[in-house]
Amino acid sequence: MKEDNFFEKVYQVARQIPYGRVTSYGAIAKYLGTARSARMVGWAMNGSGAKDVPAHRVVNRVGMLTGKQHFDGTNLMQQLLENEGVKVEDNQIVEFQKHFWDPAKELS
DNA sequence: GAATTGACGTTCT
DNA sequence: AAGAACGCCAATT
């Protein structure tokens, strides 16, 4: 049980993201105490495909679907978000702050 | 083995 | 205030 790796932590938090909610890499990184390592969060998501991590709920601080390119399709990520009630326009989440889900706050 | 890139964000100028 | 540079750590080339 030593999977306290940064990657595992990211997966844990990402899985706890509620339905119709979204979060940013920096938020997770900050929650883990490594706000500056936000890149690692994205890199960790690389293995999200092998995990049950809804990476489509994770976007950058602006709410832009920067990682949509890594999904199977090009509009898959956007489709998933819209399917949850999150409106997306121009690869950017509408009212991102409204759908924003901060683990440090919600999870405390 | 070394250099570069990468789902980002912060900090300095 | 706006823009540019840096830092993080791992993986890929």
CA of A47 to C1' of B4 (A): 21
Strand (E) or helix (H) holding A59: strand A58-59
pLDDT at A86: 97
B11 C1': nearest CA residue = A36
Lookup: nucleotide whose C1' is closest to A42 CA: B7
- Residue A106: inside a domain, yes or no? no
pLDDT of residue A108: 77
Judged by C1' against the alpha carbon of A70, the nearest nucleotide is B7
Which of chain B's bases lie under 7 Å from a protein CB? 6-10
CATH at residue A21: 1.10.10.10
Residue listed under structure tokens 């706050």: A105
Can you give the distance from the CA of residue A79 to the C1' of nucleotide C7 in angstroms?
34
Count Cα neighbours of A63 within 13 Å in the Cβ-side half-sphere. 18
Angle formed by the axes of helices A25-32 and A6-15, nearest 10°: 120
Please report, to the nearest 10 degrees, the dihedral formed by the alpha carbons of residues A75, A96, A21, A76 taken in order.
0
pLDDT in single tens digits along all 108 residues of chain A: 545 578 889 999 999 999 999 999 999 999 998 989 999 999 999 999 889 999 999 999 999 999 999 998 889 999 999 999 999 999 999 999 999 999 999 987
Residue A53 domain flag: yes
pLDDT of residue A5: 75
Domain span holding position A15: 3-99
**What pLDDT score was predicted for residue A2?**
45
